[in-house]
Every structure is written in C-alpha cells, then in structure tokens.
Amino acid sequence: MIAVSGLRFRYTGSEQPALDGIDLSIGAGELVGVVGANGAGKSTLCYALTGYIPHFYAGALEGDVLVAGHEVRRTPVSELAAEAGLVFHNPFNQISGARYTVLEEVAFGLENLGLVPDAMRQQAQAALLATGLEDLAGRSPFTLSGGEQQRLAVAAVIAMQPRVLVLDEPTSQLDPAGTRAIFEVLRSLARTRRTTIVITEHKLGWLASFVDRLVVLHAGRLAADGEPRRVLSEAASQPWGVGATDYTRAAQEARRGGLLPTAGDLLPVTLEQALETLR
Amino acid sequence: MSLDLRHVSFRYPGGVLALDGVDLTVAAGEALAIVGENGAGKTTLVKLFNGLLRPTEGSVWLAGSETRRQTVAQLARQVGFVFQNPDDQLFARSVRDEVAFGPRNLRLPEAEIRARLEQALAEVGLTAAVDRHPYDLSAPERKLVALAAALAMRTPLLVLDEPTIGQDAQGVERLGKLVDQLSAEGRTLVTITHDLDFCLAHFERVVVMAGGRILADGPATEVLQRVELLQQAQVEPPELVQLARGLGWDTMVRTPQAFAEAWTARRAGKDGAR
Amino acid sequence: MAEPVRRPSAIEALHPLTKLALMLAAVAAGAALPNLPAVLGVYLLVLVPLAAAGGCLAPFLRTSLRVLTPFLISLLLIQGFFTTGPTVLVRLGPFRYTLEGLLVGLLFSARLLVGMGAATLLMLITRPDALMRGLVERGLPNQIAYIVITALQIVPTFQARARAILDAQRSRGLETEGRLTVRLRAFAPLVGPLILSSLMQIEERAIALEARAFNRPGRRTSLVALHDTRAQALLRWALLAAALALIAVRLLVWRAA
C-alpha cells in the first residue's frame, strides 16, 4: 500500500536534508508507529506520504513514493486526499470553517469529492460513530473542546474512507482519555477496514500497546524497523533520542544490579511485559 | 513566596462553574504538580495566581498580600507564567528580543538583561538560536523560547502549563533537570501536566483535580499511589507506580534507579532466604 | 453577528435566495419610494410582520433600531440645519433648523432603517452557509463562498485569541491597565502574535482544506439539499422585476428626495 524507495528531501534554504534515504514498505491494514527525536524527519515523512511534499513544501526531492497505487510526485493533493488522509496535531486549524455543524464538517470532504447525499450521510455518520462524536453532530465545531476537535479532525478525514491514514502527533494536546479514544479508533480502522495507518508519536507506551510495527527515524534515516518491543529495546541503548518508557528504564537499571538475566533478552516496554520480566 | 488560595470559586461569565471552593496553600520553595483531566479546572486555578482571572468568591494571597490589589503586570514580577501555547506570546523578531521582553518590562539595566538572557537560553539549550526568528523554530523549540522568556524574569514563583507536550526524550530530560535545578535554588514551582512519569520524578507534591474541586493534595509518594482515585479523575498512574503495584509492593519508588535498587534488594533477600 | 433563530418557521423554510430577493426588494422600495409614510410602510407593514412570522421580532427590532440611532441623530441634525426651507423651528445664532430639513432627515433615516432592517432580518432568518450554498448553485465561485463563511466563523475566534495573547503579554509584565498612553503602548506586542499566528493558522488551514479535496476539479455535491418550489422561483422573479421597476420609476418620475 505504501512503497517508498530512496526518498531524500531537503527543504529549500536548509543545508541538511530532512530525509536522507528512506526505503519503506507498508502493507494494507498495517498500523505503523514512527518515533524519533524532534528534527529527525517524522513530520517530513508524513508530508511526503500524503503529497504535501512536494506540492506544498518546496525543496529538493529524490526517490519514489507510491501510495495506494499513486505516484505522489505526480498526483495533485486534492486527488490524493481521497486515498491518503493526513491528520496533524493542531486540532483548531483543521476545522474548515466552512460548515456550521459537526456533521456537515465531517461531510465537507465528501461533498468536495462529489458523493451522492445518501452515501455521504452514511459515511459521515459512520465516522462520527467511530470517533464517539455522534452526540455532538449538531453542535458548531468551534464550541467543541480541544480533545473533541481533534477527534473531529480524525472523523473528517476517515469519513473520506482513505486507504491510507497518516497522523502526525495527533494526541499531543490530549489527555489520557482522549489519547485512548484516538488509538482505539485507529486500531479499529486497521482491523476492520484494513486501513493502512502511519502515526508519529512521542508516547511510547501507547504506541507499544497499539501498533504492529515501529519505525525509528534518526537524522533523516531509518534506524530501526520492526516489532515494537524489539525496536524499543534496542532504542534504549542507542543514541537515537527516542527515549524509553519507565518500564524499560526500570528493567535496564535492574539489569545493572546483576540479578536480572542479561542482554539477549528483550527489555520490557509495557506493564505486562515488565511484570513478566521482573516477577 | 507563599501562595494562599482561600476557598476560591470561579464562575465564567457564561455561567459555568470552573472552580468550586478550592483551598490551596503553596509554601515557598515547593514543587507542586496539578493533575487531572481536561476541563477539571487546572488552568483556571493557576490563572488565579497572577491575576489573569480573579476569583468570583474567595481570595488569593501572594506573599501575604491579596492579589486583588495588584494588576497582572505587577504580579508578573513575582509569578512567572509559561502558557501551553507559545504562539500566544511570541511576537519579537528574534529570540533575543523575545526573551528580553520580560526583563525590559521590569526596567532592569541592560547588563543585567543581557546576563539573564544568556543564562535563560543556556538553561533551555537554545543559546545557538539567539538571533533567529522564533517562528523559524519548530513548535517544541518555540515552547522552550517561551520558557526561557519566563525564566529570564527570575520570578520566585513559576507556573508551567503542560511543559512537556511535544518535547522529545531529550527535551523532557532537559526540562526535568531544569525543574530540579530551579527547585534546588529555592524557587516555587507549580506545573500542570498529563505526564505523570515526569511528575513523579520531579515534583514533591501532587494535587489531583476533577470537576473544579481538589480530590487529593499531598506528597507525590502518597497521592500517586492512590490508583483508584487517579483513575476516577481520569489520570493514568505513573508507570513505576503501576509496576510496583503489579509486583505487590507496598512501597513506592520515584525513579528507575530507585526501583532497581529496591528490586535488587528484594531479589537478593529472596535468594538469600532460600 | 446575530444568530439565526433555531425555531423552524414558514419564513425560515423558504429558499435562501427567496429571502435574499425579498430583502433586496425591500431595500429597493425603501430607497425608491417618494415619501416618508411609504418608506415607513415598508418597514412596518413588510419587514416587521416578516420578522414576527420568522419568530425573531424582538431581536429584529432591537438590532435595527439600535443600529439606526446614531445615524438618526446625526441625520436629523445635519439635514435640519443645512436644508434650506421656509419653516424655521429653532434659531441658533446664524443657524436655522427648519421643518423641511427635519422631514428630509426623517425620510433619509427611514430609508436607512429599511435598509438596515432588511439586512438584519436576512441575517436573522438565514443561515449564512445556506445563503452561500444558494448562491454557489447559481454560479458564485466556491472560493468566494468559502471566504465569506469562514470569515463569519473565524473572525469571532480572533477575539478569544487576542485575549489569550493579551493575557500572555500581561503575564510578562506588560502593563495594560491604567493611563491611556500605557494602554496604547501595549498595542505592539499584541498585534505581532495575532497577525503571525493568524498567518500560520491560515497556512495550516489551507493544508487541511487540501486534505479534504477542496480544490479538486469536478462536480461538488451537497449533504443538505435546499428546498425550492416553482412558486418561490416565480416570486423571486416578480420581486426582482418589482425592485427594478421601482428604481426606474424613482429615477424617471419621482425626483423628489
């Protein structure tokens, strides 16, 4: 569903490339997390997957990005949008401002795509249901709280039923309840609709619990790609700036005490794993 | 710099009661974290500290005098505030001018302003960015500029509203060190945060809020163990607390190192007992 | 801006372009009819009953009269003193306040009242997005409709934004309370963030719009259909014709004030 090969990108006016040779292949229905230090290229990758690069952000682009069968470089964003949606982390700026109710806001993209009203209504309502916004359908988007607005942004994009969904730190402004709501929607989409999902995050614990695969970006390159526990275990002792959950750190420190079986075993990343390791 | 909120309530003009009879005393030099779900009243509460909001009932006392008598700008000499959204305040053309804005308002001599500027930027790790336009920096970096701007005012009390949002691991670590350092200097710190692990590691006292009320207020080691209460307030307990609890411990640890020591001791004890 | 009243009424159920046509005809009548009773008649016998039928009489009266008041006062004063006429009511030094002037002022005010009343009523009984949708169906470029609607929805948020910025700067020692000079000096650190963050907001919003296929070429559909009838279409043409006729007659026949 997503095939990236040799992707290099340097923003105009920047000396360093933001992405320096990325090869990545993601299949339908995969839920992939992307982690890395700030400046490692996470947002740039999100833009490259959805066409914002090169169409909106100028720079030197090399390599091929194929998303849902479209060559991103050659497809205008408004066309690609039906197949690859992007949600970013400022909920307020994602409200179109063109509609007076939440339901219409969610249907806005579908109107632009020229869908029949019945299909639109059905898809929009499904999106509201998936994001838990059905009770707010008649409210003005501007009266929603930050967490609700972020769910609205997700709903508005998933209503278009894209095959690929890219989210750039979508939960940064949300509290744990809001974060859980977003992650659960994503998991449900990946499982039931086979939507391919790429999400960048700093919240390692949540990622480890929800994603199938984790990718680490470091200085514009792919430093690791694989099963979340394995990748985060490795990241704990690498200078990638990814950080670690306290479960990982606790086990790391415990290892130093000498009473915990040593390297070769994976470090725990979640509570369950930590309890298993440390009991 | 002691802060005393006496039975404060706050009702928004539209009628919503955001704070309901809150009593809170913060002694000089304390490091306090306020946690709770969105809408619990946390931001409303801290805005009472520097007069941005005035209580509709009750009173706020700062260093022994009621804040009602002073303007926000006057209170700004004693209460520094770092907002959740840095874009609400960044207006200067360079980081330098931005960070110097506060001290200039305090009418400090230029040499003093320069010294504070350097120190503040060093504390947040943005010394190299001093002449850049704030909006050329990334969002997390702009947050750090806003923090530096507040640090440069060297207020005895500093309020941080969700400082770790958007920061990467290194950024959070730097913030943690900064908090520890400020605390060691004797500054009073109040933070609002969803990052309970950060809270556990760096703050002595925790206040849990829900529905405009304080549900719990006490030492971090005590409050953060009350898992049911935290969950009732829609707060995820810190990972180390969940771990210790899962292992059946009745004590709490605040850092991975402390955890490891306790764990090793127990394991050694168990092995020794065999 | 006044919020459209939410209770459904026969008036509100009309197609937005019908409502627009009604209001335009009222404005034309208010501008063209030759004397005070006729113009007031448009307000009292056309607009007020429509407002009542639309369930928004109180806000309509409040707003249209409130907006008129400053103009009323200045018009009555200016016209009264500066229109020459035989019947002098008040003498103030070299200035003469005439009855004819008073009447002219009243007539102008009445015309203004009808104009503002029509605009107010339109805003009260029509949802802006419905009106825009009606216009887009008739050929208004989508981009223009978008700009109008978002301006209506987003500009009010600037107020909240400005307040947040004001709070942030006050918290850094910017004094905003006190003498006027103090308050004026506070202006610069407020304008900068407002403009810059608004620009960034616009950029991000433009990107978000692209993600919703806003600029996609091709047919656009609508979730909510606007209900129109032949009768209304005929009414609109009739109103348009009447408005044009009134204006023509005014220009050619009635050449009084």
pLDDT tens for each residue of C25-37: 999 999 888 888 8
A171 part of contact set with chain B, CB < 8 Å: no
B257 part of contact set with chain A, CB < 8 Å: yes
- CA C241 – CA C21 distance, rounded (Å): 10
- CA A10 – CA A19 distance, rounded (Å): 7
Predicted local distance difference test score (pLDDT) of residue C2: 44
- Which residue, C155, C228, C166, is CA-closest to C192? C166
Beta carbons of C211 and A50 less than 8 angstroms apart: yes
What residues 109-168 of chain C have any CB closer than 8 A to a CB of chain B? 161, 164-165, 167-168
| Cβ distance of B169 and A173 shorter than 8 Å | no
State CA A169 to chain mean position distance: 7
Radius of gyration of chain A measured on its C-alpha atoms: 20
Interface test mutation site (partner C, options B68, B78, B87, max chain C beta carbons within 10 A): B87
- CA B9 – CA B59 distance, rounded (Å): 9
Size of interface B-C (CB pairs under 8 A): 81
- CA B151 – CA B257 distance, rounded (Å): 29
- Mean pLDDT, residues A148-172 taken together: 93
| Cβ distance of A279 and B138 shorter than 8 Å | no
| Cβ distance of A274 and B243 shorter than 8 Å | yes
Predicted local distance difference test score (pLDDT) of residue A262: 63
Partners of C97 in beta bridges: C90
For B230, which residue in chain A has the nearest alpha carbon? A176
Neighbours of A271 (CB within 10 A): 19
Beta carbons of C46 and C76 less than 8 angstroms apart: no
Beta carbons of A97 and C205 less than 8 angstroms apart: yes
Percent helix, strand, coil in chain B, to 5, is 45, 20, 35
Question: How many angstroms separate the CA of residue C225 from the nearest CA in chain A?
Answer: 9
Question: How many angstroms separate the CA of residue C7 from the nearest CA in chain A?
Answer: 14
On the question of pLDDT at A136 being above 70, the answer is yes
Neighbours of C93 (CB within 10 A): 5
Residues of B in contact with C173 (CB under 8 A): 73, 76-77, 102, 105-106, 153
A256 part of contact set with chain B, CB < 8 Å: yes
A102 part of contact set with chain C, CB < 8 Å: no
On the question of pLDDT at C6 being above 60, the answer is no
Interface test mutation site (partner A, options B42, B133, B165, B193, max chain A beta carbons within 10 A): B165
A54 upstream amide cis, omega within 30 of 0: yes
Banded model confidence at residue C254, pLDDT cuts 50, 70, 90: low
For C146, which residue in chain A has the nearest alpha carbon? A98
For C201, which residue in chain B has the nearest alpha carbon? B87
For A147, which residue in chain B has the nearest alpha carbon? B38
Banded model confidence at residue C181, pLDDT cuts 50, 70, 90: confident
Q: Which residues of chain B have pLDDT under 70?
A: 271-274
SS3 B205: strand
Output DSSP code: residue A159. T
Q: Please write the tens of the pLDDT for every residue from C109-137.
A: 999 999 999 999 998 888 888 888 888 88
SS3 B211: coil
Predicted local distance difference test score (pLDDT) of residue A186: 93
Beta carbons of B7 and B23 less than 8 angstroms apart: yes
Q: What is the DSSP string of A239-257?
A: TTS----HHHHHHHHHHHT
- CA B88 – CA C189 distance, rounded (Å): 10
| Cβ distance of C129 and A108 shorter than 8 Å | no
Residues of B in contact with A178 (CB under 8 A): 38
Interface partners of chain C (CB pairs < 8 Å, 3 or more) are A, B
Question: How many angstroms separate the CA of residue B104 from the nearest CA in chain C?
Answer: 9
- Mean pLDDT, residues C199-219 taken together: 85
Beta carbons of A127 and A159 less than 8 angstroms apart: yes
- Mean pLDDT, residues A45-57 taken together: 92
- Which residue, B166, B79, B179, B64, is CA-closest to B124? B179
- CA C242 – CA C237 distance, rounded (Å): 8
Residues of C in contact with B74 (CB under 8 A): 175
Check the CA dihedral C41-C46-C47-C48 and report its sign. positive
| Cβ distance of B73 and C175 shorter than 8 Å | yes
- Percentage of residues in chain A with pLDDT exceeding 70? 99
- Which residue, A200, A234, A236, is CA-closest to A217? A200
Predicted local distance difference test score (pLDDT) of residue B130: 92
- CA B3 – CA B48 distance, rounded (Å): 11
- Which residue, A194, A172, A180, is CA-closest to A89? A172
Q: CB-hemisphere CA count at 13 Å for C204?
A: 16
| Cβ distance of C153 and A100 shorter than 8 Å | yes
- Mean pLDDT, residues C189-205 taken together: 82
On the question of pLDDT at C202 being above 50, the answer is yes
Average per-residue pLDDT in chain A?
91
Length reported for chain C: 257
Burial A56-65 (b: 16+ CB within 10 A, else e): ebebebebeb
Beta carbons of B195 and B228 less than 8 angstroms apart: no
On the question of pLDDT at A265 being above 90, the answer is no
Residues of B in contact with C178 (CB under 8 A): 71
Beta carbons of C225 and A118 less than 8 angstroms apart: no
Residues of B in contact with C159 (CB under 8 A): none
Partners of C96 in beta bridges: C91
Please indicate, yes or no, whether the overall pTM of this predicted structure exceeds 0.95: no
Lowest mean pLDDT among A239-253, B117-131, C56-70, C192-206: C192-206
Out of A88, A94, A111, the one facing C221 most closely (by C-beta) is: A111
In order of A26, A159, A171, C207, the CA distances from A84 in angstroms are 13, 12, 19, 14
Neighbours of C30 (CB within 10 A): 26
Out of C161, C172, C175, the one facing B149 most closely (by C-beta) is: C172
For C129, which residue in chain A has the nearest alpha carbon? A99
- Mean pLDDT, residues A256-265 taken together: 72
Q: Please write the tens of the pLDDT for every residue from A197-229.
A: 999 999 999 999 999 999 999 999 999 999 999
Beta carbons of C228 and C15 less than 8 angstroms apart: yes
